[in-house]
């Protein structure tokens, strides 16, 4: 099983790297994330002061990385359908979710590298104070939040089995999470309904845990446990929904999309 996961990782890595030219890689992987984080650095700095906006800037790095993981994992199923390989996934004797998870490993690995490189850059350029003595628990936190984003991406990506275009769905969810996750403000300022919605979506509890961890508040573990519970729930929902929509796609002859 481990060897299969490694093979899926290698294949996804080769595919993703082959899709980039030097210019597109620099623009999408370096310049675009940098200017997004810089924008929120200015926004939070003007709102809370540049001496006390560290936790908000780091929270935005987590949001940016996990959003990328969420989208890339989610469109994996859509790619399978567009390229006409979903039928081979259907007849495979290997668990389909295992195959999809193996293909998602690259995005998790890429997200981890992006996060820590981004953390180093903002620490140096923006003089953000990060307590490096909490680096290990922070690493565990980021991995858990990205896994939660991954399962949520698989859940929404399952709709790609029957829909022609799910870009609108992904973009809408990303904007919703960005607005209510509390990366740039206290989530307590939201109305009760939006606060409740924020806590059942991925990333939100991870960001709250991140803020408390930076502040050396022991309550960060509670939010992390909630994020892990949400991850398990979304994984079970993704498995169930994928199974149902796959059968629907077979019946309606929608396994391929040309």
Q: What is the pLDDT of residue 13?
A: 67
Instruction: Report the predicted TM-score, pTM, of the whole model to 2 decimal places.
Output: 0.86
Torsion, CA 60, CA 62, CA 64, CA 68, rounded to 10? -170
Domain borders along the chain are 2-251
**Residue 214 near residue 58 (C-beta atoms within 8 A):** yes
Q: How many CA atoms lie within 13 A of 234 on its CB side?
A: 26
Asked whether residue 232 carries a pLDDT value surpassing 90, the answer given is yes
DSSP letters along 40-100, please? Answer: HHHHHHHHH-TTS-HHHHHHHHHHHHHHHHHHHHHHHHHHHHHTT-HHHHHH-SS-HHHHH
Q: What is the pLDDT of residue 254?
A: 66
Query: What backbone torsions phi and psi does residue 108 show, to the nearest 5 degrees?
Result: -65, -45
What tokens appear for 61 in the block?
A: 């790095």
- Mean pLDDT computed over 186-203: 90
Q: What is the pLDDT of residues 27-74, one digit of tens each?
A: 877 788 888 888 888 888 888 888 878 888 888 889 988 888 888 888
Q: What is the pLDDT of residues 157-175, one digit of tens each?
A: 888 777 777 888 888 899 8
């Amino acid at each position: 099983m481990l060897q299969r996961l490694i093979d899926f990782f290698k294949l996804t890595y080769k595919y993703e790297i082959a899709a980039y030219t030097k210019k597109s890689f620099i623009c999408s992987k370096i310049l675009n994330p940098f200017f997004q984080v810089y924008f929120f650095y200015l926004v939070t700095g003007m709102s809370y002061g540049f001496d006390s906006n560290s936790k908000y800037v780091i929270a935005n790095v987590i949001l940016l990385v996990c959003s990328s993981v969420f989208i890339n994992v989610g469109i994996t199923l859509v790619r399978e359908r567009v390229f006409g390989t979903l039928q081979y996934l259907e007849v495979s004797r290997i668990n389909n979710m295992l195959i999809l998870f193996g293909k998602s490993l690259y995005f998790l690995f890429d997200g981890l590298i992006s996060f820590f490189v981004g953390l180093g850059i903002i620490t140096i350029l923006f003089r953000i104070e990060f307590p490096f003595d909490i680096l290990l628990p922070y690493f565990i936190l980021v991995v858990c939040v990205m896994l939660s984003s991954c399962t949520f991406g698989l859940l929404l990506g399952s709709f790609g089995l029957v829909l022609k275009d799910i870009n609108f769905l992904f973009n809408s969810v990303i904007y919703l999470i960005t607005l209510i996750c509390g990366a740039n403000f206290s989530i307590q300022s939201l109305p009760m309904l939006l606060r409740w919605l924020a806590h059942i979506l991925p990333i939100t509890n991870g960001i709250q845990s991140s803020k408390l961890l930076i502040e050396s508040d022991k309550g960060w573990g509670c939010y992390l446990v909630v994020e892990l519970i949400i991850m398990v729930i979304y994984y079970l929902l993704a498995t169930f929904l994928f199974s149902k929509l796959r059968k629907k796609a077979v019946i309606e002859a929608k396994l391929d999309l040309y």
